[in-house]
Amino acid sequence: MSLDEEFNAAAERIKTMTKRPTDEEFLELYALFKQASMGDNNTSKPGLFDLKAKAKWEWWNKQKGKAQDQAKKEYIAFVERLMSKYA
């Protein structure tokens, strides 16, 4: 299975989780997914009062400079950890 196939399988697998991860785990998952699929965050920072969007933007921005393939590997490993914890 190629890295892209593993990444897509992990993205589908995470949808089957029966319990919700912590907010911090969810933000980490989101950031790795965005970095793996889109690369560096080059969007404008959300407004001060949009707290959810701002948190997601900041977590994704922390991944800046990480190669997309590296982010995919980290995402796959993180999904495995979450699935063993919350599935």
The answer to whether the beta carbons of residues 31 and 60 sit under 8 Å apart is yes
DSSP-derived secondary structure letter, 17: -
- pLDDT tens digit string along 36-57? 999 999 999 999 899 999 999 9
The architecture of the domain spanning 3-86 is: Up-down Bundle (1.20)
pLDDT at 87: 79
Q: If you average pLDDT over every residue of the chain, what do you get?
A: 96
Helix-helix angle 68-86:23-38, to 10 degrees: 150
Give the domain ranges of the chain. 3-86
Question: Per-residue pLDDT averaged across 67-71, rounded?
Answer: 98
pTM here is: 0.94
